[in-house]
Structure 1
Amino acid sequence: MKNNSNHSTTDKPQLLWLRHFGAGVCAGGISRTCTAPIDRLRTFFQVYGLDSHARMTISTTVTSMVKEGGIRSLWRGNLMNVIKVSPETGLRLMSYEAFKRLLGQTSTHEIHIFQKFLCGSAAGFTASALIYPMKTIKTRLTIRKTNEYKSIVDCIMKIYRIEGLRAFYKGLLPSALAILPASGIDLALYETLKRRIEAYKGYTTNPLEKLIVGNISNGVSQFFIYPLLNVRTRLQSNVGKTDTMTQILKRLWINHGIRGLYNGFSLHMLRLAPSSGISFLTFEYISKLLGAKAL
């Protein structure tokens, strides 16, 4: 089977790393900016949805956010989101391509799906571990009240002064447990499904097909790890200051059952569906422009 994502054998490895990183940075920034309002809405549901006295709805929450801070408030925290997501996406996709080459993917040989899963898991963990403090800052900025933090720097200083350095790594364990299988499934399934479609139809997949495949692969991966992401967001928000991962999981299950573990999941997927497709499409397109085909 012909590998449409092969890199030219004349490309220098360091140039491939740089091109893939640049393409991933663009992909992360564009996809997250397009879906920022949904991301803020999802965060509110994760943190406050089960604890509010009145049942939260999408319309009432959006209305409340706009009334509190105007239309621009829907993008509150997006700068931090882009600063965090862009390099993380760049590192993840760059690492994925690099790990594939280390396991033997060449212009004439494509590694099998389990090896791609390992590459995707390793790439996801590498990126997440390096960027994690930004995720905590982004969560605090997203759910902050007007004038609670004057800037990103002010947010960082207040968290450090009041809660210490460990506060930036709250939720790291559930995040690590979630990102390993999620990133592996997402990247391996996306690339494998796309290859199968191309082999079956005999032509390169079009943008709509890539969008659908990206949504499927991301949806499968997120379904399995969402409860851990839910716990991570609650830990980062610091709403329950002394809670641990196991305490939150136990309380969610006892008080709310499966609904508690998957609170906000529909909003999570509503954001990720277009975000994942936009990210993959942008990464492939810019990588191709830079002469370093990927995925």
Structure 2
Amino acid sequence: MGVHLEVYSSKSNFKNLLSGLRSLVQEGGIRSLWRGNGINVLKIAPEYAIKFSVFEQFKNFFCGVHTSPLFQERVVAGSLAVAISQTLINPMEVLKTRLTLRFTGQYKGLLDCARQILERDGTRALYRGYLPNMLGIIPYACTDLAVYELLRCLWQKSGRDTKDPSGLLSLSSVTLSTTCGQMASYPLTLVRTRMQAQDTVEGSNPTMLGVFKRILSQQGWPGLYRGMTPTLLKVLPAGGISYLVYEAMKQTLGVQVLSR
């Protein structure tokens, strides 16, 4: 739903969450609410595996296995991990965006979508939105980690143990920090989505600056945050649970890594 609001919602064609859901169901039925979910599930495994493994490797490289990394080292490690994972899975992001925004009967499936993109635009189309995606990593990583560290610091000052915080604390800290990170980088995320969907939107501009100017001229600064509500609503079930499962699997498998 967030992708539809990011691409189609404007001052002249304003859509909120409910009206967006209604239009999707009217066009393609209940199944349309899960468009693009197949490729989204497929990309999760390589995306998170690469991101988490690279993150831990860079942290160990910077400060060793038994030393707590400094904040700036965590920012660098997190940024590099996300940059590498996003570079490798960017084509899948483009396919997910196109499949999510497709109309009924437009594509026969994932392979047909990839074939049409390659035939019409070539391989470069699979990396549309790459630049704003990379630029968005820095504000996201800095904000996410800064808020997370602040919450851990407050927890420590309260006199409680930070080595093994409760699941509720972990979930709350990760959810809040991820939410703040999403808000800090959202304008670039919106531009990335518009660039990936440029074939879907008539008259869209393929350059990052062109998309920025188009949004500002047509919708003003609030336009850079169109569709943010469903994006933030999914942070709790998606981001929080993924980190809790990650920590649980580390303990189950006996993997020795540094704290976040």
TM-score, normalised with respect to structure 2: 0.89
Which of 174, 177, 186 lines up with 1:217 in the alignment? 177
CA apart distance, 1:213: 0.5
Once residues 255 and 118 of structure 2 are traced to their aligned partners in structure 1, the CA distance between those partners, rounded to angstroms, is 41
Match of 1:26 in 2: none
Q: Which amino acid aligns with 2:244?
A: L
Q: Deviations over 1:77-129 (max 9, x none)?
A: 1110111232111111111111000011323x211111111111111101111
Match of 2:190 in 1: 230
Q: Deviations over 1:132-165 (max 9, x none)?
A: 1110000000111112111111110000001111
Unpaired runs of at least 5, structure 1 = 1-40
Match of 1:284 in 2: 247
Instruction: Classify the secondary structure of the residue corresponding to 1:118.
Output: helix
Once residues 58 and 147 of structure 2 are traced to their aligned partners in structure 1, the CA distance between those partners, rounded to angstroms, is 16
The 1:275–1:58 alpha-carbon spacing in structure 2 relative to 1, beyond 3 Å, is same
Q: Deviations over 1:173-200 (max 9, x none)?
A: 1111012332354356536644762573
CA root-mean-square deviation: 2.0
Match of 2:109 in 1: 151
Match of 2:95 in 1: 137
Q: Say which is worse superposed, 133-142 or 177-186, in terms of deviation.
A: 177-186
Match of 1:118 in 2: 76
CA apart distance, 1:56: 1.4
Q: Which amino acid aligns with 2:43?
A: K
Percent of residue pairs bearing the same amino acid type: 36
Match of 1:74 in 2: 33
CA contact (8 A) 2:195 2:205 kept: no
Q: Deviations over 1:224-258 (max 9, x none)?
A: 21111100000001124543110111121232222
Q: Which amino acid aligns with 1:42?
A: G
Once residues 93 and 184 of structure 1 are traced to their aligned partners in structure 2, the CA distance between those partners, rounded to angstroms, is 17
Once residues 190 and 97 of structure 1 are traced to their aligned partners in structure 2, the CA distance between those partners, rounded to angstroms, is 17
**1:95 matched to 2:54:** yes
1:21-40 equivalences under 5 Å are: none
Once residues 76 and 190 of structure 1 are traced to their aligned partners in structure 2, the CA distance between those partners, rounded to angstroms, is 33
Match of 1:168 in 2: 126
Q: Which amino acid aligns with 1:162?
A: R
CA contact (8 A) 2:204 2:211 kept: no
TM-score, normalised with respect to structure 1: 0.79
Match of 2:64 in 1: 105
The 1:55–1:148 alpha-carbon spacing in structure 2 relative to 1, beyond 3 Å, is same
The 1:54–1:241 alpha-carbon spacing in structure 2 relative to 1, beyond 3 Å, is closer
Aligned residues: 253
CA contact (8 A) 2:36 2:96 kept: yes
- Relative contact order higher in (CA < 8 Å, ≥ 6 apart): 1
Once residues 185 and 129 of structure 1 are traced to their aligned partners in structure 2, the CA distance between those partners, rounded to angstroms, is 21
Q: Which amino acid aligns with 1:102?
A: F
CA contact (8 A) 1:183 1:221 kept: yes
Once residues 132 and 124 of structure 2 are traced to their aligned partners in structure 1, the CA distance between those partners, rounded to angstroms, is 15
The 1:144–1:269 alpha-carbon spacing in structure 2 relative to 1, beyond 3 Å, is same
Q: Say which is worse superposed, 110-119 or 234-243, in terms of deviation.
A: 234-243
